[in-house]
Amino acid sequence: MSESLHIICPACQSKNRVPLDRLEAAPVCGRCKQPLFGGKPVEVDSAGFRRLIEHSEQPVLVDFWAPWCGPCVSMAPQLTAATTRLEPQVRVAKVDIQAHQDIGAEFRIQSIPTLALFHGGREIARQQGAIGANDIVRFAAEALS
Identity of the amino acid at 129: G
Q: Give the separation between CA 52 and CA 48, rounded to whole angstroms.
A: 6
* Residue 111 DSSP one-character state: S
User: 15-19 and 42-43 as β-strands: parallel, antiparallel, unpaired?
Assistant: unpaired
Helix, strand, coil fractions of the chain, as percent rounded to 5? 35, 25, 40
Active-site residue set: 69, 72
Q: Give the separation between CA 135 and CA 141, rounded to whole angstroms.
A: 10
